[in-house]
Structure 1
Amino acid sequence: MPTIKDVSKLAGVSVATVSRYLNKNGYVSKEAAETIAEVIEKLNYRPNNIARSLAGMKTATIGLMVPDILNPFFPELARSIEDAANEYGYTVMLCNTDNDSAKEQKYIDTLIQKQVDGIIISSYTIKPEHLTGLQKQSIPVVLMDNVFSSDSIVSLTVENRQGGELAVQHLLERGCSKIAHICGPLSITSSRDRTAGFEHACRGTDWFTPSLIGYSDFTVKGGYTAMMDLLALHPNLDGVFASNDLMAAGALKALQETDHKVPQDVKVIGFDGIGLEMLNPELSTIAQPIYKLGKTAMDSLIGLIRKESDIMTDQVFPVTLHAKQSTMN
């Protein structure tokens, strides 16, 4: 098997230059980079990541922890992170935690044993001590869709509260006069913020009552059940804002089964902006910039791995209204 020394000798550069090229860390001239790339291809050289990790070098792998891989939001997020990681020469290890804190801790232990260079965590059950524990072991962490009151943790979120307000404003502008809300789990920060936005936008109306808020679990089935319960309490409601697109899809199913026409009788809007083109009518949604979130998460993690000093620790991204058939008639 060819070694890094073989590449160095044939390319006419130092081993350190080849190492900087492989790790994408440090300056390598364009001419040297092109020569090294040609030699690597000619020799079919493959870096020995195990040997590199034993030598205290980087393994060029990162961990990605998500709570529910069946939710289309997370495969879209994983794709953007993987694309960005590939540009940096990194491989992604995907861990699906099923919102299980014990499983989450097991994955963290496994990723530490695998000597990953860093971890991106999208979790509703992660605790601050888990993150600080990783940092104490010099493992960089980027947290997504969650915020802890710590200046040392890089976190990426979106304008959840503003998104909830935007959804209600859109329904009001479309002529709705009694709007219900399907809230996600109250243990989740983003869910609470979206509901807070809904309540703020409804404040002062003569129709709002707390019973217009139903509770679910971010699933299609949960959205369906919550919608049925809301219809039983408020058969004259004419608008629904669900805290994610899957619950909105469940709400659409419930409305169709109870002979409510969407959007003529009831208008529905979700949150996330995931690809659900198969729904009929197509779902209006408050869209998160999913691809940008994933790329920024990977960029930030690389910055932490390289010990850069100018990384923002609390990044908040705007959301966008995507009005489609479920609210437009």
Structure 2
Amino acid sequence: MATIRDVAKLAGVSVATISRYLNKSGYVNAETEQTIRSAISKLNYVPNHVARGLAGKKTNTIALLLPDISNLFFSDLARAVEDVAAMYGYTVIFGNSDDQGFKEKKYIETLKNKYIDGIIFASYTFERDEADMLTKLGIPFVCLDRGPSEATSSIVRAKNREGAVMAVRHLLEIGCRKIAHIYGPQHLVTAKERLIGYEQALADADWYSPSLLEPGNFRIAEGIKATEELMSRHPDIDGIFAGNDQMAIGSLKALNRMGISVGEQVAVCGFDGIQTTEITSPELTTVAQPIYDMGATISRLLIKKIEGKLDEDKLYELDVKLIIRDSTSRRTSTHEQT
């Protein structure tokens, strides 16, 4: 890959002149500009972090890479990142990886050659080799939920295991005696921790069976399918804890199709606290992550890192909250009357 020094040598000018031309930060006569453009074209040079360093400038632009912006959890998170970044004078560029590693790598390749001050990874495919590359290039980054290493990146996530225990205990307290779990992709720390929390809460349940577990891949359609499979295997299930709200919404839909009263016959609890849970029928009980606070925290951490004010990288785990609504509360009243 050609460097700014290669361009300067071919054009017969100083590196400082190339820097002035690239950053529009000083006078360069028309003839020299034409020579520089010709050299850049011949060398296929792309301005990168070196030029930025030579110019001694920041652009106050950060990138946020998301796995799926259509998931309302990530759109709510993005709103917080953008709000806080704007408070500090930063602009945010968004990228959607669709959970595809090659697409994320393409974004990184593009971003590293642009005037980007730092990157927030809210994706599931960010790997150690990419982290090492960004570290060598001097591009700060932070991560949501998981990161290649806590030594090189601050990581922000909610207390997933604690939240799962909270959800299952709530279902037990309202009288559920056979609780299933629809779990997310197990290569994700969030899904894994929620499954562990479910199993931990049921450690003393003599009715527990691995057949009460069904994958749902964090999607509505697969939450529907998982619920149908679970109810087919265990028609006496009276509680379902879904590992995210999208799967829980799928569960509501499946139960309604089967003529099963949600809340009274089968209680359903999700996880995330996305806004859609307030408009489902019935409204969905959920373990709410502090989504806005997570986005705000991760944005502030990146800006501190960019400005050299972050003392160390570490893991930040934020508290969750159980929000009880009709998908379990009607069962609560029935249980209390007996």
TM-score computed with the length of structure 1 as normaliser: 0.82
Contact 2:151–2:313 (Cα < 8 Å) also in 1: no
* CA shift for structure 1 position 128: 1.7
Deviations 1:16-45 (A, max 9, x none): xxxxxxxxxxxxxxxxxxxxxxxxxxxxxx
SS at match of 1:230: helix
Equivalent runs, 1:43-122 vs 2, <5 Å: 55-122=55-122
Letter in 2 for 1:80: A
Q: State the shift of 1:52 in Å.
A: 7.5
Find the aligned partners of 1:60 and 1:75 in 2 and give their Cα distance.
22
Structure 1 residues 171-320: aligned runs within 5 Å: 171-276=171-276, 277-320=278-321
Aligned to 1:137: 137
Structure 2 gaps, min length 5: 1-50, 331-338
State the alpha-carbon separation in 1 of the partners of residues 318 and 150 from structure 2.
Answer: 19
Counterparts of 1:212 and 1:111 in 2: how far apart (Å)?
Answer: 44
Question: Counterparts of 1:229 and 1:144 in 2: how far apart (Å)?
Answer: 32
Segments of 4+ in structure 1 off by > 3 A? 51-54, 147-150
CA distance in 2 between counterparts of 1:204 and 1:81 reads: 41
Letter in structure 2 aligned against 1:298: S
Q: Secondary structure at the match of 1:260?
A: coil
Tell me by how many angstroms 1:56 deviates: 3.1
Which residue matches 2:26? none
CA distance in 2, matches of 1:206, 1:52: 63
Contact 2:131 2:148 in 1 (8 A): no
2:195 & 2:123 partners in 1: Cα distance? Answer: 19
* Number of aligned residue pairs: 279
CA distance in 2, matches of 1:282, 1:312: 39
**2-side partners of 1:183 and 1:266: how far apart?**
18
Partner Cα distance (1:147, 1:111) in 2: 19
Q: Does the 8 A contact of 1:167 with 1:269 survive in 2? A: yes
| Letter in structure 1 aligned against 2:176 | C
Q: Distance in 1 between matches of 2:131 and 2:56?
A: 22
Distance 1:149-1:142 versus aligned 2 partners, 3 A rule: closer
8 Å contact 1:53–1:115 — kept in the other structure? no
RMSD: 1.4
Distance (Å, rounded) in 1 between the aligned partners of 2:241 and 2:125: 25
The CA deviation at 1:308 is 1.5
Identical residues among aligned pairs (%): 45
Structure exhibiting the larger radius of gyration computed from Cα positions: 2
- Write out per-residue CA displacement over residues 209-257 of structure 1, whole angstroms, 9 at most, x where no aligned residue: 0000000111100100000000100010000000000000000000000
Distance 2:100 2:235 in 1: 37
Return closer, same or farther for 1:300/1:160 CA change in 2, 3 Å cut-off. Answer: same
CA contact (8 A) 2:126 2:148 kept: no
Q: Distance in 2 between matches of 1:56 and 1:115?
A: 12
- Normalising by structure 2, what TM-score? 0.80
Partner of 2:163 in structure 1? Answer: 163
Offset at residue 150 of structure 1 (A): 3.5
Displacement of 1:166 after TM fit? 0.6
